[in-house]
Structure 1
Amino acid sequence: MKQPISITSISSISALGFQPEDIWNNYKSRNHFFSKKNGDWVAQLPSEAKQEIESLKQSNSKYKNLDDSVLFGIFSARQAVKQAGWKSSDNFGINIGSSRGATGLFEKYFEDFLDKNKAETLSSPTTTLGNISSWIAHDLQTNGPEISHSITCSTALHSLLNGVAWLKSGMCDKFLVGGSEAPLTPFTIAQMKALKIYAKYKLEDSCHAEPVEASYPNQALNLNKTENTMILGEAASTACLEKGKAENALAYIEGIGYGTELLEHNASLSTNADCFQRSMKMALGDLNPDEVDIIVTHTPGTRKGDIAEYNAIRKIFCNKIPALTTNKLQVGHSLGASGMLSVEMAILMLNHQEFLDVPFLEQQTPDKISKIMVNAVGFGGNAVSVILSK
């Protein structure tokens, strides 16, 4: 990219919490933040975060009928805009996407419909995907452009691509981007189970497992695992983008790339993740691959998905693979929000100059962290790679 884009703030709410210091300390603990819900592993918001969302819901009578995906997005957006010092008069653009949208509310409305054979009045307007960005724009009282989209699990990074494109076009000077997901519903989890990718690993039955494997229900980046271990998590994460090198930048976007591929199966990548090879190569541009110190991988904890991405990384970086890490072994897969959570993890590592390692790989820790690549991909073979620098 000839002109860098500044990330002047980033905010999230997830199983790690919502305060930046807590999030960093929870990452450093290397503990997982999973719990059981109806017998299934999930990554839920901690009690303090749930209280914040409940307070938001009760603060406005209009918000009582909104889905958690919208409320998570509003909460995260408020924090990001406040941190960046933006005002509603700035008329910044908004692009907050979601893979599933208002899942919980949709399931509730449909259950009521089956019972009464009649739809609730607000069932349509409160479950459309555009609901998220529209309500965030309403809450922040901005008049800039608003976009919502779903590009499955790469949604948040695609919103970042959109924000960069709008800024470079000159149509906006500032753009709020990210993703929000509230997927911990019975039907959503059942869909993942139907694909046979959801974690079945039980810690209480782990007496014969290796100690490090027994510690993590999700084993993202364990390339030797014998079963799928994906776990869903609820989360939202948003970032403020500004054109050029802002003085208050947390990080700069130096490269962006995307790629798609024809899939042999609805839920899996090709063996060498062709889409990731395309997105990483495009993001690198004229950069020497050796300049990338770390890759925050997408690796959701599935056998084929994790290995396919690793194969793609080996193809692009050859004999000098950057240090690899992921947050999914701690907070699971938040689908459309996951890419921006990975960006936040990268920014934290850049600013603390500390690498968050994974227990499954033997690799060299970078002495200095200058550039980090973040990957995301979703059903449909739509990959995005972003390079961040400090």
Structure 2
Amino acid sequence: MERVVITGMGVVSPLGNTIQSFWNRLIRGESGVSLIDTFDVSRHKSKIAGLVRDFDADGLFGRKEARRMDRFCQFALAAAEQAWEDSGLSLEQVNQERMGVYVGSGTGGIQTLFDQTAIIRERGPERVSPTLVPMMISNMAAAFISMKYGALGPTLSPVTACSIGNTAVGEAYRIIRSGLTDIVFTGGAEAAVTEISLASFGNATALSTRNDDPTRASRPFDTGRDGFVMAEGAGILVLESLTHALRRNARIYAEVIGYGASSDAYHMVATHPEGKGAYMAMKLAIQEAGIGPDEVDVISAHATSTEIGDRSETLAIKKLFGENAYRIPVTANKSMTGHLLGASSAVEAIALVKSLQQNIIPPTINQEQKDLGCDLDYVPNKAREATLNVGLSNSFGFGGHNAVIVLKAFKG
């Protein structure tokens, strides 16, 4: 079996559109949540989100090309270009038949669909864009990356709701590990902060309505939480077989050593209250990694800032790790980024890689009064230095989809 390493990373996020700006703000404990100013929110219950700022699609791709892509595709391709450049790869040194793309999106081009629905109602079917379907479908992020780099190998767009990023990384890890590919772009992209999705989540009472204090709205594990905060962006990683990476003397960030997936088989949107699926996914990931629970140094939690979600994830961690659960730092990036839906775990995987590299754990901000049902070490409010070797990243999605990856600092 091939070992699988991470050699490139790219991000577009509410905390910045480069790896360094994103990481710097994350470890400073800064929030990327603000009032929505991209459309009228006066009649919405929740008026806040983690928005991507200073993103110039026309400048990156040219106006004509940018107009052929929904915003989620623009994010994905921008992050992929960063990751490719970061990896140091060149098309001359790769076998494009053995290069794949595993990148997904939960909602795909929802803004494009929303815009074209308005056009058919106001102006008739003759004015609907012929590019509606290719701009809308969620596999198009993977397709654009594949076309950009001539990746002729397996191309997959997993749709596992909010666990897409980890599903993509895990499945890419396995196909490289099996020896079928050398390189895979992997991750997730989302641009779902739209009028219709904000209204739907809001009417489901799932969103925070702390509109007068946006930066303090996302507060995982805190008794003052009142729902999650929507966000947008993309995280793309370049995964490579160790053999291929060493052959070209690549810089290696970290190693992927395990992946676990499961289903709650319980409810359309609610997580299992006892965290059964989360427990199983974590257990399977650790088993595949060939490590014991006592070897995990940090956990990147899914932690969306909902009561049942935070509590069930805490229960699952305690069930798997026993007394060790109280010594493992748990960090919740969504306290700062908001919830990037299908892109969240890809962005959080990048944050975990940086943690393993620099031995710094980002904080869980807005921890003011800990929920009595959430009694672990959540690294409250301030980043922490620690010796880190192995990190586990959790991601859980609507429909009960659970995906967990295990990353390890690369030692050669």
What is the TM-score when the length of structure 1 is the normalising length?
A: 0.91
Change (3 A) 1:366 1:35: closer
2:332 is matched with which residue? Answer: 326
- Take 2:215 and 2:203, find their aligned partners in 1: how far apart are those partners? 25
- Take 2:20 and 2:278, find their aligned partners in 1: how far apart are those partners? 32
Equivalent position amino acid for 1:107 in 2: F
User: Tell me, what secondary structure is at the counterpart of 2:360?
Assistant: coil
Alignment of structure 1 residues 42-191 onto 2, 5 Å: 42-47=49-54, 50-51=55-56, 53-57=57-61, 59=62, 61-88=64-91, 90=94, 91=96, 92-118=99-125, 119-191=128-200
Query: Are the counterparts in 2 of residues 262 and 381 from structure 1 also a CA contact under 8 Å?
Result: yes
Q: Could you tell me the percent identity over the aligned residues?
A: 21
Q: Deviations over 1:198-222 (max 9, x none)?
A: 0112445xxxxxxxxx961111232
Q: Deviations over 1:274-296 (max 9, x none)?
A: 11111110111141211111100
2:13 is matched with which residue? Answer: 14
- Take 2:207 and 2:393, find their aligned partners in 1: how far apart are those partners? 23
Tell me if 1:312 matches 2:319: no
Alignment of structure 1 residues 33-48 onto 2, 5 Å: 33-37=32-36, 38=41, 40-47=47-54
Query: Are the counterparts in 1 of residues 27 and 363 from structure 2 also a CA contact under 8 Å?
Result: no
CA deviation after TM superposition for structure 1 residue 139, in Å:
2.1
Tell me if 1:346 matches 2:352: yes
- Take 1:366 and 1:388, find their aligned partners in 2: how far apart are those partners? 18
Moved more, 178-187 or 191-200: 191-200
2:218 is matched with which residue? Answer: 218
- Take 2:215 and 2:114, find their aligned partners in 1: how far apart are those partners? 33
CA root-mean-square deviation: 1.9
CA deviation after TM superposition for structure 1 residue 367, in Å:
3.4
User: Tell me, what secondary structure is at the counterpart of 1:268?
Assistant: coil
Q: How many residues align?
A: 373
Of residues 291, 297, 305 in structure 1, which corresponds to 2:295? Answer: 291
Q: Which runs of 5+ in 1 are unaligned?
A: 205-213
CA deviation after TM superposition for structure 1 residue 230, in Å:
0.5
- Take 2:144 and 2:386, find their aligned partners in 1: how far apart are those partners? 43
Equivalent position amino acid for 1:154 in 2: S
2:373 is matched with which residue? Answer: none
2:228 is matched with which residue? Answer: 230
1:278 is matched with which residue? Answer: 280
Superposed structure 1 runs of 4+ greater than 4 Å apart: none
- Take 2:259 and 2:137, find their aligned partners in 1: how far apart are those partners? 29
CA deviation after TM superposition for structure 1 residue 86, in Å:
2.2
- Take 1:7 and 1:129, find their aligned partners in 2: how far apart are those partners? 24
